[in-house]
Amino acid sequence: MAFISYHPATGAEVERIDTLSASELERRVQQSCQAAQAWRHSAFAERSALLNRLASLLSANRERLALCMTRDMGKLLSEALAEVDRCALECAYFAAHGQAMLPLARSMTTFEPMGTILLLSSWRFPLWQVFRVLAPTLMAGNVMLLKLAENLPHCAREIELLLAEAGAPDGLVSSLLITKSQVAALIADDRVKALAFSGNREDASRVAALAGQQLKPIVLELDETELHIILDDADLDMAVEAALRSRFRNAGQLGHAARGFMVTPGIADDFVARLSARLAELQPGEPDKLSTTLGPLATRLQRDELHQQVQAALADGARVEQGCELPAGEGWYYPASLLDRVQPEMPVFRRQLSGPLACVLRVPHMDAISEMCQELGPDGTVSIWTRDLTQGERLARRLPFGSSLVNMDPYQGKGYPSGFSPAPEGRFNIKAFCHLKTLLISV
């Protein structure tokens, strides 16, 4: 079987890459286990030095790595460069502070590495979703088997090259181009001690079920609900700019992209007009050009699904304010789009769609807002925009979400734990892939 790599900006086939054979997969797993036995006994100084070298290499090769992301999944060059920088900072952070997080002082409890960790990573942030797990995992003394999304073969190759150039031992991190059945077999393999997963909830449920059959720990980074609530007295300039960041960054391909914008009657028309005007300013084009501000979607299937849901919403009474038409020409582009008068029961709102589409729901009052939100569950974030901070806090306390922000972009609150999402930077962080060992010494 072969995976086919396409260029999202042209739709052209780039490369066909064969999946690993059973014998090659077995060789890599054995190599990983051998590396795990050696790496668990490595000194913190050795682990720190490797991460520092990785940080330097990421910075030195930022343009090449960024262009690799634009080729694999169409990410804007400016966003890809920022992602590389963020990965370098992550490596440098754990190189500097990882040892302090796992104290080895005279204590009755210590944190010891588990061994081989399997990372199943999605495509939205090709490097960041790897390095946010890789840095703490290696610093804790573990090794990693890495399965990236099928449309990221070149990014997977670049990660392996970086590690080799940084002097990582063979088998420390192995990239695997494998099928779903091979993934299932790996999860069941006793040599794999734990898993990390990023992606949608349906896939996470299936992976967690397989891990549960083996009683293996798993750390999940899941797609989340994100809503914006714009009340009559909101600062529209702030609310509109936050809407752009929350729905159109990465061409709307975010696991936490704003699902919708609930707007009260007194400000609804102005909000729609201002957001529509800002969307008209976005410049579609080749993602590797810094002048481009809206790149293509990562796959044709993703674009087709988005457009189908837009058409269904229009048939049910939603109104087009901007975009919403398939463009002519090559590549998997979709225009910056805005639907007004979306209803909460429409699939375009209920489903977590990927793409540059904003949905506006006109809501009569705060009681209606609270009622709608209760159906969405706690796994998400809401941003409330109002000049009345007392009113904003009162509404925030009524809503069910793990994070409720007032006059803040949801991305600004990512450093604060919500208690609902056990992502790698969550409550346990570097300790997530450690065994807690208790020492009882008789004197």
pLDDT digits (tens, 9 = 90+) for 194-228: 999 998 888 999 999 999 999 999 999 888 778 99
- 429 with 360, same domain: the answer is no
pLDDT digits (tens, 9 = 90+) for 143-200: 999 999 999 999 999 999 999 999 999 999 999 999 999 999 999 999 999 999 998 8
- 165 with 296, same domain: the answer is no
pLDDT digits (tens, 9 = 90+) for 243-299: 999 999 999 998 888 889 999 999 999 999 999 999 999 999 999 999 999 999 999
pLDDT band at 106 (very low <50, low <70, confident <90, very high): low
- 153 with 23, same domain: the answer is yes
- 388 with 244, same domain: the answer is yes
- 199 with 270, same domain: the answer is no
Q: pTM for the whole thing? A: 0.85
Mean pLDDT for all residues in the chain: 90
Strand, coil or helix: what is 192?
A: strand
> How far apart are the C-alpha atoms of 373 and 227, rounded to whole Å?
9
Q: What is the domain extent for residue 195?
A: 2-223+421-438
pLDDT band at 80 (very low <50, low <70, confident <90, very high): very high
Percent of the chain beyond pLDDT 90? 73
> How far apart are the C-alpha atoms of 418 and 239, rounded to whole Å?
22
pLDDT band at 411 (very low <50, low <70, confident <90, very high): low
- 139 with 285, same domain: the answer is no
**Is residue 163 in some structural domain?**
yes
**Is residue 192 in some structural domain?**
yes
- 157 with 289, same domain: the answer is no
Number of domains the chain is built from = 2
What's the CATH number where 366 sits? 3.40.309.10
What's the CATH number where 207 sits? 3.40.605.10
DSSP letter assigned to residue 334: -
Give yes or no for a contact between 321 and 278, defined as CB atoms under 8 angstroms apart.
Answer: no
In this prediction, residue 419 carries a pLDDT of 40
**Is residue 104 in some structural domain?**
yes
- 354 with 283, same domain: the answer is yes
**Taking the C-alpha atoms of 382, 388, 391 and 396 in order, what is their torsion angle to the nearest 10 degrees?**
20
> How far apart are the C-alpha atoms of 222 and 202, rounded to whole Å?
10
- 352 with 426, same domain: the answer is no
**Is residue 78 in some structural domain?**
yes
- 328 with 344, same domain: the answer is yes
**Is residue 443 in some structural domain?**
no
- 55 with 144, same domain: the answer is yes
Q: Quick check: 309 pLDDT over 90? A: yes
Record the tokens describing residue 186, joined without a space.
Answer: 């790996």
**Is residue 307 in some structural domain?**
yes
CB within 8 Å of 298: residues ≥ 6 apart = 8, 73, 74, 123, 151, 253, 332, 354
- 206 with 247, same domain: the answer is no
Percent of the chain beyond pLDDT 70? 93
**Is residue 199 in some structural domain?**
yes
Mean pLDDT over 346-366 rounds to 91
In this prediction, residue 443 carries a pLDDT of 56
Count other C-beta atoms under 10 Å from residue 230's C-beta: 28
